[in-house]
Amino acid sequence: MTGAYPVLPLGAVRSAHPPAVFARTFRGKPASVPEARRFVAGILAGCPARETLVACVSELCANAIAHTASGNGGVFTVEVERPRDGVARVAVTDAGGPSVPAAGPVPGSDPMAEGGRGLALVAASTARWGYTDACPGRTVWAEATWPVPVRLPAAPVPPASVRPRRPDGGPPGPAA
């Protein structure tokens, strides 16, 4: 038996990359972290930011298990979204905890400690990250971006009054 619940596509299709949000709920135990990585990797197949966001979701899931009530018999939910070309986002909603997420070591902690740098890595490897209160719990998210080709608009057609006239004074167009 796996620690995951079914995938739920949420949202409507609006662009070349469907901006649907894919969500899956996992049991709050360490064995769920690799399952969450596989889930994100599958959704982001072909995405230039796939490996970055897989690493981020691994950290966010591990934090949900270690620092929130999700790790005490609860669950957490992973969401994956591609809202527009050049942008992908992962989010982990957990059961909440007593402290807020912070990138970097806790003031006064041992700088040589093994842990405490995961969100700093998330912050350094993504375009932006953050958290918001969820009901119940908290959602921590990370967003990656990459360059995309920009289509230039078609050259405007000048109005007939400014188009060049034919040498014989006739209207613009092929000469007779």
Domain annotation for the chain: domains and CATH numbers: 8-149 (3.30.565.10)
- The structure tokens 């994956």 sit at 80
Give the pLDDT of residue 47.
95
Give the pLDDT of residue 139.
96
Q: How does DSSP classify residue 165?
A: P
pTM of the entire predicted model: 0.74
Give the pLDDT of residue 2.
42
- Verify cis geometry, omega within 30 degrees of 0, for the bond prior to 136: yes
Give the pLDDT of residue 11.
44
Query: Rounded distance, CA 69 to CA 71, Å?
Result: 5
Residue 7 φ then ψ, to 5° = -75, 135
Q: Give the chain's residues under pLDDT 70.
A: 1-19, 105-107, 111-115, 158, 160-166, 169-176
Give the pLDDT of residue 100.
83
